[in-house]
């Protein structure tokens, strides 16, 4: 495990940020979010792996990779938040801090979006803050990592 590595994983349709439902998800693109995360990670002394996939299986593979390579994991599971027991199982198997992240406040959305299956495996959840939630998640992750080392 890399002591100062953070992995950020993004689920389905997040590659469409900036164009997809901007009233809900904002106009910031995933590339812009990644750039902000890289800057924030560097300021925190963290190396960063930043990925996006529309495939549940690929996300699970990346969670398992993070288990061996990262000190902590941030995940925006997208719609898999509400449906994926397989992703929950993968997240539950990691022995590193996990922060679940959502651009929108899922509790203020459609009824089917108000429950997170995957949050049960998370150390914490950040939601409703748009793209600004990503750097905040990195701050929180770094604090949790440092606390675990103390």
Question: Residue 44's pLDDT is what?
Answer: 97
Q: Is residue 146 part of a domain?
A: no
Q: What is the pLDDT of residues 44-59, one digit of tens each?
A: 999 999 999 999 999 9
Res 26: pLDDT: 78
Kindly tell me if the per-residue pLDDT of 150 is higher than 70. Answer: no
Residue 144 is assigned to a structural domain of this protein: no
Paired tokens of 14: 């997040």
pLDDT at 19: 87
- Residues with a catalytic annotation lie at 25, 102
Nearest to 83 by CA among 12, 131, 7: 12
pLDDT score of 130: 94
Asked, for residue 141, whether it belongs to a domain, the answer is no
Counted domains in the chain: 1
User: What gap in Å lies between CA 77 and CA 143, rounded to an integer?
Assistant: 22
CB 63 within 8 A of CB 90: yes
Which pTM was predicted? Answer: 0.92
Is residue 131 included in any domain, yes or no? Answer: yes
User: What number is the average pLDDT over the span 56-65?
Assistant: 98
- Provide the domain limits for residue 65: 5-136
């Amino acid at each position: 495990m890399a002591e100062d590595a953070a992995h950020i994983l993004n689920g389905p349709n997040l590659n469409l940020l900036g164009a997809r439902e901007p009233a809900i998800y904002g106009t910031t693109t995933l590339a812009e979010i990644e750039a902000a995360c890289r800057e924030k990670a560097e300021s925190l002394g963290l190396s960063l792996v930043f990925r996006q996939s529309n495939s549940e299986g690929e996300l699970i593979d990346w969670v398992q990779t993070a288990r061996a390579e990262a000190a902590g994991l941030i995940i925006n599971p997208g719609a898999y938040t509400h449906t994926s027991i397989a992703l929950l199982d993968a997240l539950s198997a990691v022995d590193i801090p996990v922060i679940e992240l959502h651009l929108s406040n899922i509790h203020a959305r459609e009824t089917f979006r108000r429950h997170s299956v995957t949050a049960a495996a998370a150390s914490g959840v950040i939601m409703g803050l748009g793209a600004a939630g990503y750097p905040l998640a990195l701050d929180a992750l770094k604090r949790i990592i440092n606390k675990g080392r103390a």
